[in-house]
Structure 1
């Protein structure tokens, strides 16, 4: 039986994500490399800095990189531990005026307001969450002429926690279709599978595939 990469192993509750990710981050520290996720850097290269919502920010690498380039960033995660770690990095680099780290379970709620860029980088979890609903709700927070950027794993790195050979990864078109977005109000910038060289926790490297979905909100 083929398993979908986002299949849930248990129903999600309001505390399930925090109960998983808080111990995870307490045990694991990933030093900030100063480098953003590759697709984020590529897509934002031609964008004018504005406001950003970074969903599932983790250690805050993308948020700090964007803040250092003039974006005003609201970065959210469910783990208090990793948010404190990200705040410390922001203070150390003099970026606290440009980035705010806030505790949210994205399956339950989002910060108020709209954003020029809404970024969901590798928003995967072994906890059963309504992922498509979260991403659809993320789309609602994109301002007119703003960009929704979703980057998903489309292959398994050798060091990944998920090594199930029966896992089926969705195509970028699969993920986009499940968002049920109105084509009259969204202009595709990029909907593709792209390869990159990834680095593992012990310095190893491997070629992996990402699904990149970048859409601009328009008024047609």
Structure 2
């Protein structure tokens, strides 16, 4: 993954999505399925929604979803996928450069799945702090990220914090949150060559206390 730093993130991601008809698998992220499958549906914020598989999965389970991405190409594709389901009216698609703007409101679930960027212009830690602030009392913050890059991206400068570093960077006030999960785990996906691409990911899951 290379990124010309003179190209704005919005243009970079629009160009990358436009290079193929589908960039991702069309399936929801396995960590989201595992960690949110037993949550009572409410309002959800999906940060970096891409082509919409996570948002559609949540909506199919009764969630009212605000799905956000920097790429208008990705959002248009996501809306098209949602239109082919019975849950399109449960999803609001919003275009945000999260380094500049953030969705309004609070949510029962805020999920950030692999919110990485090859650009230093994306202040990931600040965005995740805003994500935490957007969690309603009793709600859940779910952050899933890469802990290791695949062999075909050996020279990437994308920072990959440990789950403990993610929690520390959130700077959460003592006594206001319960840490439900903070761990690395193996992840298996298909690489660019069609072969299995094992790597390590990490998951941080917290619940905001109601009092």
The residue aligned with 2:171 is 180
Residues 61 and 41 of structure 1: is their aligned pair in 2 closer, same or farther, counting only changes over 3 Å? Answer: same
8 Å contact kept, 1:53–1:73: yes
The residue aligned with 1:144 is 137
2:184 and 2:20 mapped to 1: Cα distance? 29
The residue aligned with 1:5 is none
The residue aligned with 1:4 is none
Where in structure 1 do 4 or more consecutive aligned residues deviate above 6 Å?
165-168
Segments of 5+ residues of structure 2 without an aligned counterpart are none
How far the C-alpha of 1:108 sits from its partner, in A, is: 1.1
Q: C-alpha deviations, 1:25-65, integer Å up to 9, x for none? A: 11133266452111111111221011110001111111111
Q: Secondary structure at the match of 2:35?
A: helix
8 Å contact kept, 1:184–1:219: no
The residue aligned with 2:125 is 132
Equivalent in 188, 204, 211 of residue 213 of structure 1: 204
2:59 and 2:159 mapped to 1: Cα distance? 35
Normalised by the size of structure 2, how large is the TM-score?
A: 0.90
Q: Secondary structure at the match of 1:184?
A: coil
Task: Please say if 1:19 is aligned against 2:15.
Answer: no
1:28 and 1:36 mapped to 2: Cα distance? 19
Higher relative contact order, structure no. (Cα contacts within 8 Å, ≥ 6 residues apart): 1
Alignment map for 1:41-190 (pairs within 5 Å): 41-128=33-120, 129-159=122-152, 162-164=153-155, 169-190=160-181
**Aligned residue-pair number:** 208
